[in-house]
Amino acid sequence: MMQTGQPPEGDDWVRPQVSEAWYRCIEEYRLSPRTNLLRPHAIMDFENGARATSATNLDVRTALATMAFNLQPALRDTSVSLLLADSAGTLIHALDAGSSLGPMGRRLVRLGESWNELIIGNNGLGTAAVLREPVAFDGKEHFSSILHPFATVGHPLFAHDGSLVALLGLITDQRSSAQTLLGFVRIAGYLVETNLFECQAPGAFMLRMRLNNISAGLTGQDCLLDGLISLDEQGRIVGATRTGLNLLRADLHSDILFKKVEAVLGVTLGDLRACARQGEPIELEIPHGWRLKAEFIVRRRPEKDVVQSSRVSTVKGLSRAAPGATPGRGGKAGNGEEWRDAVLEAAQQKAINLQKQKIPMLITGESGVGKDHLVRMIHAQGIRKGRPLVLVNCAAIPRDLISSELFGYVPGSFTGARTGGKTGKFVEAHTGVLFLDEIGDMALDLQTALLCALDSSEIVPVGGSKPVRVDVQVIAATNSDLPDCVRKGAFRRDLYYRLNGAQFWLPPLRERPDKLGLIEHLWELELKAQGVDEPKTLSAEVWDIFERHPWPGNIRELLNVLRSCLAMTTGCETQVSDLPIDFLKEMSASSQGDEEGEATLSTLSRWRPPLEAKALADWEADAIRSALAKTAGNISESARQLGITRATLYHKMARLGLRK
């Protein structure tokens, strides 16, 4: 074919999809069948930049881990490896990576290896990205000779707007199995894509649809699987899964995005909400004649149902609760929590659901972002509520004691041991949740013992010989870069993957879109916790400082500042002079530079709006009025046009005395 540009005559095994891929490799990419893999320095470049993984890829990896955890025992006994690549074909995750694929197979599944068709020729992952559909190749159907010993399968993963976000694939050395695995990867891709859609798609409402009549004209997964679309508060379609597109007979997302739902489905948003309120089944007959069953889901409270009399309602957020407050009391997280970031809310609900399969979870993020509080919420609202929640700070326990703390010990096991022995944390947490905080600081020798306990669900007390079976949900947390620790040999790779059944990253306070709402919420909690009956508010100047501050100590620092403010406030409004001096100094240093921090401290402590603030405020008020006028008073749309969060818009409107 390289000589003639045509597939060899008489070779019926060369499918059109294969010959077309070979043509691209020869004519467009100028590849040789003897293509080499990436050079080692390219892998190192990937590892050095791996920390910049996008939030979308983290969500995809979490969704994949949720599904793959249950598949791991089955995959362990096969020669199949489950792969995840980014949209460019660079491998970012692998399950059972090349354990039985031989030396070349192990090289192929190195993180950072490129499966881009432009680099390595046609293959399951790379060609799925080119064709934007699931594909499979067996043996010599691959253009590159290094892939001839393998079968590869790939499935593209799309976001709510149709953009390609990742690639899911399989590789095996069992030839002639690609088409069999293709059916498996189609279902796996559907599950991951649906999970991603539920987590990331915009919109206040979601519609879950399925064909009412299987013989309606569709075949394959679209007859059996649910399609999803999301709607905004004006009834416009703002997202769809590919199965949803197929059910609506739309070829592209652009065919339906931002269209009114009545133009596509023939029913209004009001009709859908009325059916949902009355508990009636929703049956749709779309313009081309298919009948669909549908379920209407409220994802968050619509704008017009929100009481506008206060900037923020008193709710339970993803923050460490103040003393005396009980997180989660009064209902499940997310019900009516108008100010909260939808992505964080979805992650919390996902973590709660993962307990049903007892999947280990790893929570990462800077110190003080609320990892321990998230664990308490997961426990309080999950299936293990009412069971023990045992916290272990791996950094606070001396190295020579942590083994006995985790596993306990029998009488007389060492000098100074209690006469009756001691129950370890694993046994204390039996049937409940074991929270391993600061897991990155655990010594290597103890990591081995922990791995054995997690794999077998059995522990052996120090000095004992009889194993004790335990049933625990393990949640670990760290502010360390564990992949970097693995590369440096400070953390076991197998333990990292064992703990990382699903990973949740909590953003720092400075990056949270719901920051102002969270501050308001914690302020209200502090007022209640300290028994303050008279109304106390934060002045506009204090709000401005809180909005601009980088908060290096995150929620922990925020709580300390709020408590100090409350103690120092003598009137009904907290002023800049009530803020802690060290906080003002930190603010000054971050905005002016360390050299000028001391010089501006005295100015900040007497801070007042600058002379030109009136003109700036007028300009800001005009911009807000204009946005509100254009959107007929819709807060969400106005905030989007202004490039700020709804909480920030509420705050600015209150400060400027504006109303809808």
Range with the lowest mean pLDDT among 221-230, 261-270, 312-321, 444-453? 312-321
Please give the angle made by the CA atoms of 599, 600 and 606, to the nearest 5 degrees. Answer: 130
Final residue of a structural domain among 120, 139, 155:
155
| 294 to 102, 153, 248, 255, 285: CA distances (angstroms) | 48, 32, 12, 20, 11
Element (H, E) at 389: strand 389-393
Res 108 pLDDT > 80: yes
Position 58 confidence tier, pLDDT thresholds 50, 70, 90: low
pLDDT of residue 590: 61
Strand pairing category for 237-240 and 227-231: antiparallel
Domain that holds residue 400: 354-509
Whether residue 210 lies inside any domain: the answer is: yes
499 and 358 in a common domain: yes
The answer to whether residue 612 scores a pLDDT higher than 60 is no
Looking at the structure, do residues 523 and 576 belong to the same domain, yes or no?
yes
Per-residue pLDDT at 24? 92
User: Pairing between strand 389-393 and 433-437?
Assistant: parallel
Assess whether 540 and 481 both reside in one domain: no
Residue 268 falls inside a structural domain: yes
Mean pLDDT value across residues 361-370: 90
Query: Whole-prediction pTM value?
Result: 0.49
Residue 276 structure tokens: 């949902």
Q: d(Cα 585, Cα 608) in Å, to the nearest integer?
A: 16
End of a domain among 299, 323, 345? 299
Contact 462, 404 (CB under 8 A): yes
Boundary residue ending a domain (279, 299, 319):
299
pLDDT of residue 419: 73
543 shares its domain with 490? no
Buried (b) or exposed (e) across 160-176, using 16+ Cβ within 10 A? Answer: bebeebbbbbbbbbeee
313, pLDDT greater than 60: no
615 in the same domain as 537: yes
Q: Are 389 and 433 in contact (CB under 8 A)?
A: yes
392 part of a folded domain = yes
Q: Tell me the pLDDT of the chain averaged across its residues.
A: 77
Residue 475 clears pLDDT 70, i.e. is over it: yes
The neighbouring-strand residues paired with 294 are 209, 282
- Please indicate, yes or no, if residue 541 is contained in any of the structural domains: yes
pLDDT of residue 342: 55
Residue-by-residue DSSP string for 320-347: PPPTT--TTTTS-TTTT-TTS-HHHHHH
Higher-confidence residue of 96 and 146: namely 146
- Answer for the pair 457, 403: CB distance below 8 angstroms, yes or no: no
Q: Residue 485 corresponds to which tokens in the numbers above?
A: 């620790």
Tokens representing 287 are 């313009």
Taking only the tens place, the pLDDT of each residue in 568-605 is: 888 888 888 888 888 887 776 665 543 444 433 333 33
Quote the percentage of the chain above a pLDDT of 70.
75
**199-203: average pLDDT:** 84
What are the beta bridge partners of residue 84? 93, 168
- CATH of residue 633's domain is 1.10.8.60
- Position 75 scores a pLDDT of 58
